A and B are shown apart, each in its own frame.
Chain A
Amino acid sequence: MKCDLCDKEAVVHLTQVVNGEIKEVHLCEEHAKAQGVDVNSPISITDILMGLSQQSQQSTASNLTLACPRCGMTHDEFRKSSRLGCPECYKTFMAELTAAVKAMHHSSQHIGKIPAREGVQTRMKSKIARLQKELEETIAREDYEKAAELRDQIKACRDEAAAAGGDQ
């Protein structure tokens, strides 16, 4: 088996199945090290997947010069470490992150806990996302009575968010 990144023999083989989708990574010793794979420590396949998807993408001139206006992390530095420099980086590297986040989590919308400090609009947005997911499940099992109930709840949340106006 050859390395995914060069013609050398692969020595590290990783397989992970997330929701039925098989992902395999084969790396030679050199590239395994370059990807930060240490055979003696827990392997994060996330790092490797991110690293590979980024390496396979053609670097465009704008990507090379792209840097976070807040912390100064460049696109290249982010690629190397697979770690972001600051919260603002999520906006800076949005294009690349959206696909990676979706691949990792099979979702791109948070529906869990919200800090108490967040405004009404944030809380409502998240609540709507959660209710919408529930609504889809309800429709899938043809429970239309419950679906109508959820639809009303979603509308009420939208109204509340609108009433809160610029509260962010």
Chain B
Amino acid sequence: MTALDDLLDRHGGWLETGPDEGPVISSRIRLARNLRDTTFPGWASKEVRNQVWDKVASAFDAVNGGGFLRWRMDELNALDRELLFERHLISRELAERQAGSGVFVCEDECRAVMVNEEDHLRLQSLQPGLNLQKAWEAADQLDNDLEKTLSYAFSSKLGYLTACPSNVGTGLRASVMLHLPGLILSGEIKPMINAVSKIGLAVRGLWGEGSEASGHMFQISNQITLGKSEMEIIAHLEQIVLEVIEHEKNARRRLMETQRIRVQDHVGRAYGILANAVLMTTGEALDLLSALRLGVDLELLPNTARREIDRLFIRIHPAHLQKEAGSALSPEERDIQRALLIRKFLERKE
């Protein structure tokens, strides 16, 4: 088993956003799959769940000579499971499951397969920027590879059969992560969320809920999985996301034209606190880093590396801090460590 700590030295491939992406963070494709004639994980016995893990493991052995890292949840401690969760490699639900549950992760972390979560398999493919097509192709290919060994539960009417009827059909959940501080500052986020949910898409905070999402990061995803082809679902989502990006860019432009001083103050204050604070909670850090990221996009902060900021969005989370420190930390110790990590980063930039 590869040491999980190695992940710390890496930067999830999907996080490597460039300056051109603007408000876009990353694109994600998720496919739900289940094995034929096999009880779904939530209802299955421990034995069945373990058999499912073994079957999926042998399917991976046949793919790429097994070039995937693999971890079983019952072999990891709570901190390691949290680390995988913070890196978006597993869900909170998987982290809490035991027998037979685990994850397969490819070297660059762009593809991961959760085993025995709500469904037997949950394939995930992540790409930096707005790149749903490439993410889909990677997921589709992995799905095809696994299917050479595995026999999926499928009906010609309802498509891929899933534990929850809300996922039947394609089993596809496509989503795009967006950074939308312009819409928040201009008070346009709620109308945008309402408008997007009216056309059958879901908007969620990446950290936290609704319009109060920490770090001003949101995920927009499809809800309907049946009756449309994968290409239709992806094209529809992409079209709406492009519109949201346009709104965000317009909001930023308007803010700079009409309230430049206020925006400068917003970014400057965030910088001041991040550069000097000694205690910092996760929520506060996410919000202030969001302001910093906006400052870089608006060229108010030329010296600050955006890529580093994007990495900090992950590194300031509790499990990452504790892994880097090499020991368990109390909430207050984490707040000290978090503030220190950010101060060091800003000192290097000055």
User: Chain A interface (Cβ within 8 Å of chain B)?
Assistant: 16-20, 40-42, 44, 46-47, 50, 70-71, 73, 81-88, 90, 97, 100-101, 104-118, 121-122, 125-126, 130
Contacts and interface: CB of A to CB of B under 8 A. Distances in A.
Nearest to B204: A42
B201 to A, nearest CB: 10
A101 B230 contact: no
Contacts of B156: 110, 114, 118, 121-122, 125-126
Nearest to A18: B200
A20 B200 CA distance: 9
A158 B154 CA distance: 21
Interface stretch (B1-9, B37-45, B246-254): B37-45
A130 B229 contact: yes
17 contacts: A44-B166, A50-B165, A70-B37, A73-B43, A83-B40, A85-B43, A86-B39, A104-B223, A108-B158, A108-B226, A110-B158, A112-B159, A112-B170, A112-B228, A115-B152, A122-B156, A125-B156
Contacts of B225: 105
A110 to B, nearest CB: 3
B228 A107 contact: yes
A66 to B, nearest CB: 16
B140 interface: yes
Contact of A110 (B140, B163, B165, B226): B226
A103 to B, nearest CB: 10
Contacts of A118: 154, 156
B194 to A, nearest CB: 8
A101 B42 contact: no
Contacts of A87: 34, 36-38, 40, 153, 155, 161
- In the A-B complex, the 7 residue pairs with the closest CB atoms: A107-B227, A110-B159, A87-B153, A105-B226, A46-B166, A112-B170, A85-B43
B172 A112 contact: yes
A117 B154 CA distance: 10
Contacts of A17: 197-198
B170 A114 contact: no
Query: What DSSP secondary structure best describes chain A's contact surface?
Result: loop
Contacts of A47: 164
A82 B172 contact: no
Given A109-B227, A112-B172, A83 B34 contact: no
B9 to A, nearest CB: 31
A20 B170 CA distance: 23
Contact of B224 (A90, A106, A116, A126): A106
B59 to A, nearest CB: 13
B230 A112 contact: yes
Nearest to B168: A101
Interface of B: 34, 36-40, 42-43, 92, 118, 140, 143-144, 147, 151-161, 163-166, 168-170, 172, 197-200, 204, 209, 223-230
A111 B229 contact: yes
A75 B153 CA distance: 21
Contacts of A85: 39-40, 43
B154 A114 contact: yes
Given A18-B223, A73-B43, A83 B118 contact: yes
B43 A83 contact: yes
Contacts of B169: 105, 107, 110, 112
A88 B144 CA distance: 23
A81 B163 CA distance: 10
A83 B167 CA distance: 11
Given A90-B155, A101-B226, A105-B225, 5 more contacts: A17-B198, A41-B92, A87-B161, A104-B166, A107-B226
B163 A83 contact: yes
Nearest to B147: A115
A68 B168 CA distance: 19
Contacts of A114: 154, 156
Contacts of A82: 164-165
A116 B164 contact: no
Given A17-B198, A50-B165, A90-B155, A42 B227 contact: no
A42 to B, nearest CB: 6
A124 B33 CA distance: 21
